[in-house]
Amino acid sequence: MAKITLVNYVAGDKWTPLGCLQILAALRNEGYQVKFLDLQTIDNGIHKPDFLSDDSEYLLISTVSMMLPWLFQTVKAIKDKNSEKKIILGGPGVSPISEMILEHVRSVDYVVEGKGETAVVELINILEKKRNLPRGLRDIPNLVYRKNNHIVRNQKTKQWKYNPADRTDIEANNYNIASSVITSYGCPYDCSFCYNRNMWGGKVQLKPLRQVFDEADYILGRYNLDYVVFVDDLFFLSKKRCYDFFDLYQSGKYNFRYVVLGARIDSLDDDMLANLKNTNCISLSFGLESASDRILKKINKKITIKQALQMINRARTYIPDISPSFIVGFPFESLAEFRDTINLAMALYNEGMPVVMSFLRPQVGTKIHDEYKNKMIIKNFRGVIRPSEIDEETEKIIKADSLLYAWYYTYKTPGLEEKLDIYREINIKYVPIHQRLLCMKK
């Protein structure tokens, strides 16, 4: 049986890598021997590429956009040592640029777009001659690969199979958040700055709520925790589903606390907020994005700033922790609109809210990128949107390709230099949710 190494190639906040753990479960259920590695748990792992070198026949890597310069250098070194090893990439960092990767990065053999369990298992089954499909690789949904010097991109699947995450390799003390759970995939909205529609095609698939609670039961028991973090892009998709969730929570006599990261301003009312309070919801995160109604309309957010502030104030009367997020640096944002957004963010922060501020990063596949990709420039964003350590060789790689490494660029925007100066001086110190949880007593 083939040996497989599965890697979560992400550095940052040490969240449970749910996508990887679902792929891990699918492969092990198929009988494969899989070693799981997580860069988040390896000190300075980004500068230790040897940790990916082993005798496995297949190297599966899930990653995000900011990691691509190091990842591509690493997989080239691995491929140079072992040209027979098959390297398969997936995750939100590669799905929008799958064809570009196969065109420019010869050391990568396959890319899987979107949700990857089915595609990965079927691909390895075919390569290992465990299974035949009528058209071979062409029948594997979400797969992108080379054939006769051409790049083939298969259709995306319309339905996703759920595999419970295999958490046997996860130790709670290695993660800030070991209790993350997802209840749905996708989002029906079409915000122009968001990659979600490109990733999921605008479709939504719901996990059965009974399965959600079974997963929560397992996590709470295994890690001796009393909270769950729901990481859906949009948790409050329908009122009926929310009330079904409330009913299951109360009928099951649960008392765990929970956090909802994906909440829309227009998705809640007072009765739902009261039910959230009664079922021990302790934190909601809302994307306000901008203080300008013109910007909100331009990015297709479908809310107004008045509506947003009204909901924030109402939610605070029910839920102790409300976290609003903002994005600045849109290519069509005036300096005055930028200042208004900064001022609103500071006002909410000074009221005690954990505000999240972001300077817009280009993402291939979004509508904003489609329209403004020819107006991208690279800046010295140390302390703003770039990692603090980028060696000269890596910087050359980034500057050579604005599409593969779009995360390291910004859009030309009115008053850019002044915006950056102001942004660097903002005195908003974000406290991550795992630290806020420690301060919130049950």
**Residue 171: Cβ within 10 Å count:** 10
Distance between CA atoms of 427 and 419, rounded to whole angstroms? Answer: 14
Question: pTM value?
Answer: 0.92
Max Cα–Cα distance, the chain, nearest Å: 62
pLDDT at residue number 49: 66
Query: What's the pLDDT tens digit per position in 50-64?
Result: 767 788 999 999 999
Domain with CATH 3.80.30.20 in the chain: 177-440
Query: What's the pLDDT tens digit per position in 228-259?
Result: 999 999 999 889 999 999 999 999 999 999 99
DSSP 230: E
Tokens 């942004």, residue located: 423
pLDDT at residue number 177: 82
Q: Which CATH class is domain 177-440?
A: alpha beta
pLDDT at residue number 389: 61
Distance between CA atoms of 367 and 411, rounded to whole angstroms? Answer: 13
Parts of the chain with a pLDDT under 50: 381-386
Distance between CA atoms of 200 and 16, rounded to whole angstroms? Answer: 21
The answer regarding whether domain 4-153 maps to CATH 3.40.50.280 reads yes
pLDDT at residue number 159: 67
Tokens 């980034």, residue located: 398
pLDDT at residue number 71: 92
pLDDT at residue number 195: 85
For 138-188, the DSSP string reads GGSTTEEEEETTEEEEPPPPSS--------TT--GGG-SB--EE--EE--S
Q: Which of 432, 439, 440 is nearest to 175 (CA)?
A: 432
For 8-50, the DSSP string reads EE--SS-B--HHHHHHHHHHHHTT-EEEEEEGGGSTTGGG-GG
Q: Which residues make Cβ contacts (< 8 Å) with residue 192, sequence separation at least 6?
A: 298, 299, 300, 366, 367, 368
pLDDT at residue number 103: 95
Q: What are phi and psi of 325, to 5 degrees?
A: -125, 150
Distance between CA atoms of 433 and 410, rounded to whole angstroms? Answer: 27
| Cα–Cα distance list, 290 to 50, 206, 365 (Å) | 43, 29, 21
pLDDT at residue number 386: 46
CB 284, CB 276: distance < 8 Å: yes
Distance between CA atoms of 59 and 63, rounded to whole angstroms? Answer: 13
Domain with CATH 3.40.50.280 in the chain: 4-153
Q: Which of 124, 116, 122, 99 is nearest to 156 (CA)?
A: 116
With b meaning 16 or more CB within 10 Å and e meaning fewer, what string describes 315-340? bbebbebbbbbbbbbbbebeeebbbb
